[in-house]
Amino acid sequence: MRYADAGYNLEIDLATGNIEKVASNIKDTEDYLGGLGTNAKIIWERVPADAQAFSDDNILIFSAGLLCGTPAYGANRTIITSISPQTKLLAFSMTGGFFAPELKQAGYDKLILKGKSPNWVYIYINNDKVEIRDATHLLGKSTYETLEAIRDEIKDPRAQGLSIGLAGENRVFFASIETHRGSASRLGLGAVMGDKKVKAVVVRGTKDLSLAKPMEFMQECDKVLKYMLYRLENPIKGVPPILSLIGSPQEMLLHDEEWHTNNFAWGNARVRRKNFWNSEIERQWAETQERARKKLISCYNCPIRCAGIIELPGFPTYVMKCYSKITYTMAAMVDSLEFGLKIAAKAQHYGVDGFTTPQVMAFALELYENGILTDSDLEGMPKDSKEEQFFWLLDRIVRREGIGDILADGVYWAARRIGKGAEQFDRNTIKKHEQIPIKLGMLNPIYYIMWSTGEKANITQIEGQLPQAPFPSRELKEEFIKDWIQIPTGKEERFKNFILEWGEEGKNFPFWPSPDLIAELVEWQELMHYVDDSLGLCAGLSSFPLKPPYHIHNLPLFIQYATGIEYDEQKLWNTASRIRNLVRAINIRRGLRREDEKPPEDHWKKRFPEYEQKLLDEYYNYKGWDSRGIPKKETLERLGLGYVAEEFEECGVYNDKA
C-alpha cells in the first residue's frame, strides 16, 4: 500500500507507441521525495551526458510533487523536467494549476515521454485508459484553444491539460508549456515537447489517493490555513507592498509597481527609470488593470488568489500573474500597462516565456539601433511605434520567420549567429539564459552567490524569505524577528542577528556579512526551493515570501503523515541536499563548470572581482564542492550519492583540467 504517492509512473515510447504503467520504488520516495527529486534521479539514470534537447534519447517528464493531490493547501505543482535547448543543462520548470492533482487521481505520479512521435499527437489519460491520439487538426492552434478543443473532443470539462502553441511547435528555445492557469515557462520545455511532436497531454482521474495518518495530516493543514489567513491580514511592515503578503507577488491584486519599475532595468536590461513611478502613472495603470482584470483566481486547493483573468477587446482572454504583468512594457520602454497586457495575451496563446521573450525583442531592437541588424534583416517591421515593432517581432519569432528564426534561439545563441559585435549586447544572460533585468549599484554578496550558482538559472527559484533591503528602523527589525519561526534549528540567533545588524554602522554590503553566514543564508533559501519542487508545493506559500506558512519545521510532519515514512528536520535537510547535489551532478556531467557561474558584468556598478572569487571559493567549500564547483566524492557519499561519485571517477570528471 502506497500513501500520498500513486506508486506508478506512466511511460510512453512515442516512437513505437508503447504504453506502460511502471511501479516506482518506495525507497526513491524516501530518498528523493517526488517531483524534481525523483525526476532528477530518472534523468541521471536514463539521459546520456551527450544527449541534447532534441536528441532521440532525451526524455520529457511531467511529474506531480509528492504532496500533490493531498489536502495540503497549494500542493498542486507540475514539475516538468528535461534537457534545455538553450542552456543544454537540466531544465526543470514548473506550473501551478490543476494538472498534477488530476494525474495523481488517475493513478500516476509521473508521465514520462521517451523518443519522438512520427506524427503530431496528443496524449489522453483517463484513469487506466491511455491513448495516443492524432493532433494534426490542432496544429497552429494556441495553447488555450488546443485545450479547449480537446475538452470538447473528449467531452469532459473536468479533464486537465498542458499544451504548447505555435512557439513550441516551431521549437522556439524559450517556448513554454501552458495550462489555463499557469505555465512552465523557463528553459524551453515547450520546444522539447514540440520536438517530440506532442501538442498536448490531458488527464482525467477518479481514483482515491490515500493518506497514512489522516487525522494528524488534517490537523497540520488546519494550522497552515489559519496561518495563511493570518498572514493575509497582517502584511509584513517595512517592505514594499508586493513583498508584504504571501502567494506569488500579488501583482494582479495590487497596483503599486513602484518597486519593480524604479528598481528593475528597462529596455534590453539597460536603463533604470528611477523616477518613473508617479501618481499619474499609478492612476492610469490601476484603471487599465481594473478594466482588464475580470476576476482573481487560484490554483487547485489554494485560498490565495494570485492570478487574474485578463480580457481586453480584440485580444484573446488569458490568465496572468506576477511580474510578467510588466515585462513587455518595461522591455519595450513604453509607459503603457495596456500594451504589456495585450502583447502578453498573444504571447501566452503562442506559448512563450514572459521573462525571456521581451528581452529577446528588446535585444533585437537595440541591435537595430546600433546598425548591427539592418532594414533588410527586419524587412516589413513597422517603423515608428515600439509597440507595433514588438508585436511584429513576436509574430516572426514564434513562426521562426526571417530574423525570427535567429531570435527564436534566445539572446545568447542569436548574438553568436548574428556576429558583427552582437555578442556585446548579450548583456543579461547567465548560463545562456535571460535573467530578470536588475542592474543595481553595490555588489550584494548573498545575491552574487545565488545568481552565480543557481542551477535553474533563475533568481526567483533560489531566493526567498529574506527582505531585499535592511528594515528602516530598529523597531521594525525587532517586530520582524519576534515571531520568525521559519528559521532552521540552530540558526535562529545568527539569522536574527543578521536582520538586526543589517544596515547599522559597518554592517553593510559588500564586505559584510562573513562568508560563512552568506553561505548559510544562501543554502537555507535554496534548499527550501528544492523541498517545494519535490513536494509540488507552491513557492508562494513556502520558499519565496517572507514568513511563509510552510517551513522546515512543519514540512517533515506533512511528509510523515502523508506517506507514513518517518521524517524529521535533519532528514529533510539531508534529502534536499541530496536532490540539490544530484541536480548539480547532472549539470556537471553535461559540462557545467566554475567559469559558467557568474552574473552579467554590469549586474552591479561596483564589482570586486577578487573578492567575488573568494566568496565563490568559500561557498563551494561550504557545499563540499571542489574549486571547479564539482561535488567532492566524500560529499556525494555522505548524501547517499556514491553512484554519482563512481561515475564521475569513471568518466574522468575529477581529473579534467577544465
Partner 1 sequence: MELSLKKELGVSEKKKVKFIKIDVDKCHGCRACEVACSAFHAKPKYSTINPARSRIRVYRDELRNVFVPVYASFYTKSECAGRRVYIAEHKEHSPNRAEYIECSFCGAACPSRDLFFEPDSGLPLKCDMCEDDPPVETPWCVKVCPVGALVVEEKEVEVEEEQEKEDEVETGLEALADKYGWDKVIETIVKKVKNE
User: What's the number of CA atoms in the CB half-sphere (13 Å) around residue 506?
Assistant: 1
Interaction between residue 319 and partner 1 (CB under 8 A): yes
If we measure between CA atoms, which residue out of 592, 619, 657, 259 comes closest to residue 430? 592
As a whole number of angstroms, the distance between CA 412 and CA 492 comes to 42
From 22, 23, 139, 229, residue interacting with partner 1 (rule: CB under 8 A): 229
Length of the chain: 658
CB 72 → partner 1: shortest distance, Å?
10
Rounded Cα gap, residues 306 and 550, in angstroms: 17
Minimal distance, residue 131 CB to partner 1, in Å: 18
Nearer to partner 1, 130 or 149 (CB): 149
302 binds partner 1 (CB under 8 A): yes
* Minimum distance from residue 127 beta carbon to partner 1 (Å): 9
Site for partner 1 in 57-96 (CB under 8 A): 69-71, 73
For residue 127, the one-letter residue type is: N
Beta-strand relationship, 110-114 and 90-95: unpaired
Q: Which is nearer to partner 1, 241 or 564 (CB)?
A: 564
125: enclosing H helix or E strand: strand 121-126
Q: Toward partner 1, which CB reaches closer, 171 or 204?
A: 204
Q: Which is nearer to partner 1, 283 or 295 (CB)?
A: 295
| Options 26, 225, 253, 334; binder of partner 1; rule CB under 8 A | 225
Helix (H) or strand (E) run with residue 516 in it: helix 515-535
Whole-angstrom Cα distance, residue 344 to residue 176? 13
Q: Check residue 381 for interaction with partner 1 (CB under 8 A).
A: no
CA distance 577 to 80: 20
Does residue number 416 form part of the binding site for partner 1 (CB under 8 A)? no
Verify binding: residue 207, partner 1, rule CB under 8 A.
yes
Stretch near partner 1 under the rule CB under 8 A, chosen from 200-208, 416-424, 433-441, 606-614: 200-208
User: Out of 13, 30, 148, 596, which residue is the one contacting partner 1 (CB under 8 A)?
Assistant: 148
User: H-helix or E-strand containing 198?
Assistant: strand 198-204
Interaction between residue 206 and partner 1 (CB under 8 A) = yes
- Residue 298 interacting with partner 1 (CB under 8 A): yes
Which residue among 52, 55, 126, 210 contacts partner 1 (CB under 8 A)? 210
Task: Find the part of the chain contacting partner 1 (CB under 8 A) among 11-19, 301-309, 490-498, 594-602.
Answer: 301-309
Stretch that binds partner 1, among 289-297, 353-361, 362-370, 650-658 (CB under 8 A): 289-297
Per CB under 8 A, contacts with partner 1 among 567-606 are none
Residue (306 or 414) nearer to partner 1, CB: 306
Cα dihedral value 327, 187, 122, 170, nearest 10: 80
Among the listed residues 181, 199, 255, 431, the single contact to partner 1 using CB under 8 A: 181
Site membership for partner 1, residue 555 (CB under 8 A): no
| Among the listed residues 26, 297, 334, 466, the single contact to partner 1 using CB under 8 A | 297
Question: According to the binding rule CB under 8 A, does residue 312 interact with partner 1?
Answer: no
Alpha carbons 182 and 174: distance in angstroms, whole number: 16
- DSSP state letters, 431-495: TTEEPP-B-EEE--HHHHHHHHH-TTS-GGGT--SS-SS--SSHHHHHHHHHT-TTSPTT-HHHH
Question: Is residue 527 a contact partner of residue 460, using CB atoms and an 8 Å limit?
Answer: no
Among residues 33, 103, 162, 209, the one that binds partner 1 under rule CB under 8 A: 209
Is 126 an interacting residue with respect to partner 1 (CB under 8 A)? Answer: no
Instruction: Answer yes or no whether residue 253 interacts with partner 1 by CB under 8 A.
Output: no
| Interface with partner 1 in residues 149-178 (CB under 8 A) | 151-152, 155-157
Handedness of CA 434, 436, 437, 443 (dihedral sign): negative
From CA 81, how far away is CA 389, in angstroms rounded? Answer: 33
Supply angle C-alpha 654, 445, 484, rounded to 5: 110
Q: What are residue 143's phi and psi, to 5 degrees?
A: -55, -45
Residues at the contact surface with partner 1, assessed by CB under 8 A: 69-71, 73, 98, 105, 144, 148, 151-152, 155-157, 180-181, 205-211, 214-215, 217-218, 225, 229, 294-303, 305, 309, 311, 317, 319
